[in-house]
Each structure stands twice: as structure tokens, then as C-alpha cells.
A and B are shown apart, each in its own frame.
Chain A
Amino acid sequence: MCVQWGKSKIGLLQGFLDEQFIQLEELQDDANPNFVEEVVTLFYRDSTRLLLNIDQALEKSPLDFSKLDNYMHQFKGSSSSIGATKVNNECTHFREYCNAGNAEGCMSTFQQMKKEHATLRKKLEAYFQVSSICLVTFFSS
């Protein structure tokens, strides 16, 4: 029953997360019942730190593009871990701007990325709440 719940919940996240997220779900088992949530929590903790670094780097002038690129590379690796599609796309844009030395582009892409990042977080929180509700419901019935 919960599984079915799970599958329909994915609809919540459609477009925001990709195949990787499903992989994570599949990894979840009795040994690690909260695996996905743990991973997501880890992700958000780490990615917030990275975003902060990028923020700071973007405030410097002139921009150190190679450093920015580095940070973004890390961030991309991170966001790929949970399959955050939209966030990932913004990362790619950002790196393109970096390579082109386009400060404006970097700035605006970064803002966009932060937005996506925040949006996804909310969705995931909702997702997990629903999951927990699902479990509770199941056991209480």
C-alpha cells in the first residue's frame, strides 16, 4: 500500500527529479528505511554550504571564473546525486557563462539556480511528509 502511495507521490516531483531519484528509492529497504530522506537531507546540508561559497565568490570583483567553475562543478556533482534535474540544468548554464567569462550571465543563472534549489526542497519536504503520513496511516489502520 505504501508502495503505491510512493509511486503516486513521485508525480509531485515530476520534472524536478529524474531517474536517479527513483534509483534512490529503490535502494531504500528494511535496513535503511529512511534512506532517501537521509540522502536528501545530506544533500541539502552540503549544497547549502556550496551555494554560500558561490555567493561569496560572486561578490568578489573581478570574478574568479575558474574558482566559480570549480564550485559549480562540485555543486553539479552533488545535485546529480539526487537527480535534481532543474537544478542541474542551471548548473550547466552557469558553467557555460563561466567559461565565456560572462559575469552577468553567471549572476542571473545563479539566482535562478537558488530558486530552483529552494523550490525542490519544499517539494521534497512535502514528499517526505506525505511518506511519513503514509506509513502512519498504514500502521494505524
Chain B
Amino acid sequence: MENGFSSPRTDAFPAGLRVLVVDDDPTWLKILEKMLKKCSYEVTTCCLARDALDMLRGKKDGFDIVISDVNMPDMDGFKLLEQVGLEMDLPVIMMSVDGETSRVMKGVQHGACDYLLKPVRMKELRNIWQHVFRKKIHEVKDIESHEGGPDEFDDGHLLSAGDTNLAKKRKDLENREHDDQEFSDPSAAKKVRVVWSVDLHQKFVNAVNQIGLDSEYQPGFLFNTLICIFIHKNISYFILCPSGDIWLSYLLFTTFSCHLNNACIEPLCVILLAEVGPKKILDLMNVPWLTRENVASHLQKYRLYLSRLQKQNEPKTSFGGIKLPDFSYKDPPGSFGLQSSTTMHQNNAANTNFGYSGNKILVQDVGSQIHGGDLEGIVSFLPAAEPKKALIGDVPDPQKTSSSSLMGTTHSLESLRPDVNYASFEFTIPRQHSWSGETPVKEQLKQEHEPYLLLGDGYTNPPLPIPHHIQVHRLRSVPSIYPRTSITERDKLGPIETRPLCTEYKSNHVTSISPVGRTVDLFSVQADSHIINPQAFEAISTITSSTKSRNFDQNCVNNLESVQQNIIPGSGSALLSSHGDVQLFSLQGCGYTENIGLQNIEFSDYNDSELVTELPSHLYDGLRFNCDYLDLMEYPTVDQGLFIA
């Protein structure tokens, strides 16, 4: 029967199944070998886990299934299990004399497809072929589902954390639908099993990291999370728009700040979270024989692995709000420069990349366009893959962030210092490849689609995972809520920068990626369409142009000439219908906000890790969800008047 195996021995499947047995007990090794031989399987035995891994790596596609003991002296069986699953994607069966539920559970969690109790009976071994077969079938289904449709992994998940499960289930169902035609003939897929060697995996991880760095340049990326950080009167507000709608966030914020006290609040920055998809990884890896499906399934496993690691390192994470990942601030970042309107002159036009400890937070200085009223706040936002760790990446050090030129709400556009710089920060937390380390890094990778924000106590929303790359773009801050800045003025600003993701929005078209529930009313204020920096959003596949609001005149206008837009026209307010959650966080008492006032604040380059290290604690200690503020979100009565000076 055709069974999808490529080698001739598989004609009599399951006979000839190539089994690798790993057990430190020589007696068992001998017994199992004999038993498996009696089942007509091809057996290889190994008493050391390391040797087993070497064998597996050395002989790509040389084995169909691995049976391993749990307790081994040189390596934990679970670890071996993980490695094999990740690198070689083979089914692994665990064995132990200990049948305690917790152990069995652990085995399953680590990816074991079965857990046998010693003494193992031959009849149990006879059936192990089912795991191989099952895997084949699932792979085939995966291929089928990937081949035709869009890249599911690249889908923007306009869902909150809770919904992503739904999305996955939906996807599974889709996969299953393809089952029928493939079921009987798994070999039709002609899938060649890819053995993910150490090298290959390294390439994979490199590619993933690379994407993080480059993502803002890449079209097709979906920015599905937008976090706007606004700092107003020493309070930082983080608005998370899962859908990634910058305008939405901005509007939310401005409106809300309006209510606060009619003050001018500049959006500090807009963080766009980009997503990594298998196609991109594949392109970067530059391995000719590798297919997208291979990468996709490996990616999935990698995510699982990361999530497992994350769970292991699960910290208390009691803080609500965005928290910087712990790992991130070990080394001094390159230079973390917050460009403020005033001080960035020197950084004009230079896209400075600031490396950030291990997390590669890139801060780019987007040209130096100064426009009155354009305040760029840079909010660095580190993606926190793991739920508990929100990333507020390089949030400027309080002292240094004096730059809240953003804050300088009182500046009229005209008065804006000419040195406003746009900086876009790309924060990509480098994914380290070490499987064993860098949990946080991996965690980021894990969460690709969902932005994750840990909400404060008062908040009931589940934390949303944050995609692993977060690009922070400076928003042109509006000097005040006043839509003073005309588009034209903005336009005057030179080509701000090359970074597409720069928070420059061309006036005209507001692309909202996802609607925000309560703010529907709010954003029904439509003004001239503002075109949001297309490039920033180019990855947003579901961008719909929507809200046109005069507000955008103020500052949401971006100058990106070069921006292309993937804007799907849509109705403005409709988009604002609740889709994602906009979560408003108020960061109070954050150290770094202290110095941020409404005056011109200078951002200085951060050349040390100080910023970084301070931020996390600031951020999450201080971050509290302020319910009061949230209420403000429901401002049906906000009208444009508020936004006009």
C-alpha cells in the first residue's frame, strides 16, 4: 500500500520501520531490540542520548521513529525528545518504569507521541508504526493546506489572544478538510522529509531574526498590533490596537487626552509589530531545496518550543501592563537614541541603528524633518512573546526622554523646533538560536501574531502576546490635539526617512487595521482622508482605509511619499467597530515619564543600557491600568472641535 514513505523498504509498511532506541540500560536495550526485530522493524540501539542525536543528525531521514527512555545519565529524555522533535521532526516515544501522571504529562507536553511503561510488552511495540503513519498524514494535510491558500502563518491575526486559538482551530479544520483526498494516498504529496540539522536550524533562526530587523522594509508584513505610547503629564499611556491601526490609536489617545484636560498630547510613538512568516524566512534562508511548508512546520514547532520554554520560565508577572523582558537589557545597547524634536539634529536623516543588547533593538533615526508640531516620541517597544512580559522596549529613559517633544503639546506646529527628527525604532529582539537559552528571545518568536500586553489589575483582558518584532515608529506628535499641522506643512518636511514604518502618515487616508470597539463613535469623525504611511502599514494585509478625520490633519499626517499603501478601502467607522481591543494603559509613576513634560524634551542618545534597564522596572511597576481612563474612551461626544486648535 502506498504509504508516503520514500524508500523501497516501505512496501510492506509497517515492516522495515526504522527505529532508533535510546536507553542507558543495556538489558532493556537488548530486549527492545529483540522485540522490535520480531516486529520486523529495523532497529538501531544507542545507550547515550548524545550518540543518538549524532546518529539522527548524521543520517538525515535515516529513521522513522525514536524510542527513548526518560531517565538517562547524560541527557534528560525530555530534552532529547524536544531536540528530536525540533530538528528532525520525528515521532518520539518515551519509556519509563515510572508511570506517574505528572511524568506522563510532562512527556506529552514535550511532544512525545506516546509514553510506554516498563516493562514494555511486545504488543505495545508492534503498534508504534501508527505514530509514524499519523505524522505522515498530518504532514500531507499541512502541505495541502499550504499549497493552495494564503500563507496562514502570515495571516494577520486581528484577534486578541483569546481568539488566536480560534484561528488556529479554524485552520486545523481547514487542514482536515483536505484530508479526504489525501488520506488514502499520502504519498501523493511527495513530501521529502526535511531533517533540520543544526546548521539548517541555525539558518532558520538567523532568518527569523533577520526578518525582525528588516521587517519594516518588507511589504507583506502584517502589522497587527499597534501600540501607541503617549506621554502626558508624566503619565504614559499605551494604547494597544491589536489590529494595528495607528490612526485608531492616535485618535483614541488624542481624544482621551483631550478629555483629560484639553491638553496637548503627542503620541509618543507608534509601535508596529511586525510578523514573521514562513515565506519570508524561506527567502532569507536561501536554501534552495527547502520548501515553504518545511519552514512553516518548523516554525510552528519552534514556537511551541519557545512557548514551552516560556512556561518553564514563567515568572510571576504580576505586573500589569507592558513590561520589558528581563533579558533585554543586559548589554548596553548601541545607542538608544530617542529623537526628540529638538535634539536630533545631529541625527538628521541618519537612520541610526541602535543595537540593543541581545535584543537588537534598532532605533532608527528617521531623517530629520522637523515640522512644527511634529514631535516624535520614540517608544521602544520590545515585543514580548510571552504574555507576561510586555515589551516596552526601549522606552526612553526618563531622564533622557526629556524629549517628549511629544509632550510638547503646547507647541504649535510652527513653534516646533525644527529639529524634530523622526526616528523609527525597530526593535527586534534578536532571536538567539540557542535552544537552551534566551528564553525571552524565543518567547518573542513564539508569539507572532498576537500582540501581547499584560493588562493591569483592573483589566480583564487576557494578555496578548506580542509579536516578536516591534517596530517603533515615531509618530509625529501633534503639538496639541489640534490638527494644526496641515498636511501641507507636513509635506514640507523633507522626505522624512527611508523607513517606511516611520510614523508618517500622509494625510488622507487612515488605515485602520482593526476597529476598536468602544471607540466607534469616537472615530466616526471623519475628516479628510489621511493616508497613513503606507509603508508602515504595508504589511497590514487588512488595512482598510477608513477613518478620515480631521484629527489626522494634525499630525497623523505622514509624509511618506514613498509609502505604498495596502489600503483596502473600507468604511471608516465600520472599521472601528470593535474588533480588537484597544487597551489603554496608564503608566503612572513611571520613572521615565517624570521628565517628560509638555515642554520640549530632549532626547538624547542612549549609549548605555541605562535606559533599558530602567525601563522595564519603570514600565511595569508603574503600569497600571487606569480604569478611569478607559472610561474616557467612550466618548461619544467627542467631536472634532476638540481636535482643532
CB of B106 to closest CB in A, whole Å: 15
Given the complex, which residues of A lie within 8 Å of B38, measured CB to CB?
Answer: 27, 29
- Inter-chain contact A23/B27, CB cutoff 8 Å: no
Given the complex, which residues of B lie within 8 Å of A45, measured CB to CB?
Answer: 26
In the bound complex, what is the Cα–Cα distance between A136 and B38 (angstroms)? Answer: 27
**Contact of B168 with A by CB under 8 A:** no
Partner of B98, one of A39, A73, A78, A83: A73
**Contact of A117 with B by CB under 8 A:** no
**Contact of A112 with B by CB under 8 A:** no
In the bound complex, what is the Cα–Cα distance between A80 and B24 (angstroms)? Answer: 14
The 0/1 profile, CB within 8 Å of A marked 1, for residues 67-90 of chain B is: 001010000000000000000000
- Inter-chain contact A27/B122, CB cutoff 8 Å: yes
In the bound complex, what is the Cα–Cα distance between A78 and B31 (angstroms)? Answer: 11
- Inter-chain contact A77/B122, CB cutoff 8 Å: no
- Inter-chain contact B71/A42, CB cutoff 8 Å: no
Given the complex, which residues of A lie within 8 Å of B30, measured CB to CB?
Answer: 38-39, 42
**Contact of B217 with A by CB under 8 A:** no
Partner of B26, one of A26, A27, A46, A80: A46
The 0/1 profile, CB within 8 Å of A marked 1, for residues 87-123 of chain B is: 0000000001110000000000000000000110110
Residues in B2-36 with C-beta less than 8 Å from chain A = 24-28, 30-31, 34-35
Partner of A80, one of B34, B37, B118, B122: B118
Interface size on A, residues (CB 8 A): 25
- Inter-chain contact B28/A77, CB cutoff 8 Å: yes
In the bound complex, what is the Cα–Cα distance between A42 and B30 (angstroms)? Answer: 9
- Inter-chain contact A73/B71, CB cutoff 8 Å: yes
Given the complex, which residues of B lie within 8 Å of A24, measured CB to CB?
Answer: 31
- Inter-chain contact B27/A46, CB cutoff 8 Å: yes
Q: A80-B118, A80-B119 are in contact. Are A73 and B97 (CB under 8 A)?
A: yes
Given the complex, which residues of A lie within 8 Å of B98, measured CB to CB?
Answer: 73
- Inter-chain contact A82/B34, CB cutoff 8 Å: no
Partner of B35, one of A27, A46, A80: A27
Closest to B122 in A: A23
In the bound complex, what is the Cα–Cα distance between A38 and B96 (angstroms)? Answer: 22
**Contact of A137 with B by CB under 8 A:** no
Closest to A47 in B: B27
Partner of B97, one of A29, A35, A76, A83: A76
Given the complex, which residues of B lie within 8 Å of A42, measured CB to CB?
Answer: 26-27, 30
Given the complex, which residues of B lie within 8 Å of A128, measured CB to CB?
Answer: none
Residues in A63-96 with C-beta less than 8 Å from chain B = 70, 73-74, 76-78, 80-83
- Inter-chain contact B119/A78, CB cutoff 8 Å: no
Q: A46-B27, A81-B25 are in contact. Are A32 and B97 (CB under 8 A)?
A: no
In the bound complex, what is the Cα–Cα distance between A81 and B69 (angstroms)? Answer: 13
Residue from the set A74, A77, A82 with the largest chain B CB neighbour count within 10 Å: A77
Given the complex, which residues of B lie within 8 Å of A80, measured CB to CB?
Answer: 97, 118-119
Closest to B95 in A: A77
In the bound complex, what is the Cα–Cα distance between A43 and B31 (angstroms)? Answer: 11
Residue from the set B24, B28, B119 with the largest chain A CB neighbour count within 10 Å: B119
Given the complex, which residues of A lie within 8 Å of B37, measured CB to CB?
Answer: 31
Q: A39-B27, A73-B97 are in contact. Are A81 and B34 (CB under 8 A)?
A: no
Q: A27-B122, A83-B119 are in contact. Are A78 and B34 (CB under 8 A)?
A: no
A-B CB contact pairs (8 Å), 21 listed = A20-B119, A24-B31, A27-B31, A27-B34, A27-B38, A29-B38, A39-B27, A39-B31, A42-B27, A42-B30, A45-B26, A70-B71, A73-B71, A73-B97, A74-B24, A77-B69, A78-B27, A80-B119, A81-B31, A81-B119, A82-B27
